[in-house]
Every structure is written in structure tokens, then in C-alpha cells.
Amino acid sequence: MDLALSKNLNNLNHFWQALNTDESNDFYTHKSWPNKHWQAGFNLPDNISSATLPKNKVISTIVDLSNQKISGLVVKNQLMVMNLALDQGVNSSIGKTHSKIVKLSGEENAIKWSQGCGQAFGYEIDTRVIQDLLKNSNASVFAYLIDGEIAGTAISYKTGDTLGIHQLGTVPSFRKMGVALALMEYILAQAVSQNCHFVSLQASQAGLYMYEKLGFQSLGKLTSLVAAK
């Protein structure tokens, strides 16, 4: 496996493990949001089917499914696996100060952050998971504030020389105001200050242009599968 891809998936694997997870038979499964079911290498076992997938969970894989048929499972979404090698330079003013960005702490802040993140992504975030994540020394939970309201959210998670970016989103009423780019610049500055070599993320189609403009390169697709209804 390509080094950059390996760094990305390793970061995602450890970040997901930090979100209230059970482990059994080489699989990790979230107890609540984000409701993922996966293997550390994001492989897809031959015997996977709707019958073996835990109820209401999503299995995520890096495997190319174009020529495979999987019993009772359908594609929910696909994300582009992307990395930025910091030694190649960053196409952004990452030293810029963003006074509206704060790092969260405390249970009350986690509740507001979860509500804002849920609005940005269109699904409910389990506040208890975020509260536990705030105690993890590898994680930083950020909010972009406008007039005291959460306009954008992001999480960075460090594994070795890689800083992963997760849950980067903008609340709908604050879109097209530069919120996502400001959060990206802030986290890229964090990566530089922590002497990271790579920054990793998994991008939806909506974010591709911004990430590519910043210098991120595509490494493959992460496919999420759910049981067919």
C-alpha cells in the first residue's frame, strides 16, 4: 500500500476507534454515532453481507467494488481519500490568525458543538462521544464562532507524523463566508507547529475544489455500504 494512503487510513482507523468503540473478531463497531463497522485496514471480507453487518451500522472499505456484488448491501456514499505532504509546501496563508476559531473544552460546549456539527452535516451527533473525545490528548475539537453562534466545526486527530481532519463542516446559514477555509488554514498551521509530515482527510464532492486548491492529492475512494431496505 502507498505510504500516503497508509498514513491516511491509519489516522482514520485510530480516530474512529476513539469514538466509543467495541472490538470483536477483527472488526471495530461504534456503539452510537458515527455508527461505523470496519476493519483496521478497511478491507472487505468475502463473507460480508446484510446478514453479517450489525443492525443500523455502515461498513467502510477502501476496496474497489466496481466488479463485486455484495449480498444485500448498497453504496451509501463515497469519499475521496486525500493527503497533503507538508514538505511540498501549502497553497495557503497558513500563518494567518483566525480569532473566531476556538478550541473546545467542557461538557456544555460539547453540546453546542454537536448541535452545530449536526446542522452542518444533516445528521445527529452523539454529544457523549464528543465529550469523551475532549479528554483525548490526540484530539482537538474546534468551532468557528460568529456573534457567539457556532458557524463551523472541525476535529483534528494526531497519529504519529500525520494530522487528520474530520467533521469539517459549515452550518448552512453561514456558508459562503470563508468558514471552512479558515478552519482548514488553522488546522494546517497546527500541523506545521506539531512537526507533522502529512495532513489527511476524506472528502465529499462538495469539498474537493477547496482541498485540491490547498494542494491535497487524491489517493483512492472510501466506500460506505449499508443494508438494502
At 139-198, the pLDDT tens digits run 999 999 999 999 999 999 999 999 999 999 999 999 999 999 999 999 999 999 999 999
Residues 95 and 152 in one domain: yes
Least confident segment among 76-85, 106-115, 203-212: 106-115
Q: DSSP states of 128-172 as a string?
A: HHHHHHTT-TTEEEEEEEETTEEEEEEEEEEETTEEEEEEEEE-G
Q: Which of 56, 80, 104 is the last residue of a domain?
A: 80
Q: What is the pLDDT of residues 87-108, one digit of tens each?
A: 865 655 554 557 899 999 877 7
Pair (74, 88) in one structural domain: no
Question: Same domain, yes or no, for 150 and 207?
Answer: yes
String of DSSP letters for 15-31: HHHTTTEEEETTEEEES
Residues 6 or more apart whose CB falls under 8 angstroms from that of 160 comprise: 7, 10
Global pTM value: 0.93
End-to-end Cα spacing for the chain: 34
Assigned domain for 226 exists:
no
Q: What is the mean pLDDT of the chain?
A: 92
Count how many domains the chain has.
Answer: 2
The domain of 16 spans 3-80
In a domain, residue 14? The reply is yes
Q: Which of 12, 46, 80 is the last residue of a domain?
A: 80
> Is residue 171 domain-shared with residue 75, that is, in the same domain?
no
Q: Judge whether 26 lies within some domain.
A: yes
Report residue 193 CA to chain centroid gap.
21
Cβ pair 174, 53 in contact under 8 A:
no
Assigned domain for 69 exists? yes
| 158 and 46 housed in the same domain | no
**CA 190/CA 156 separation, integer angstroms:** 9
Listed residues 80, 97, 122: the one ending a domain: 80
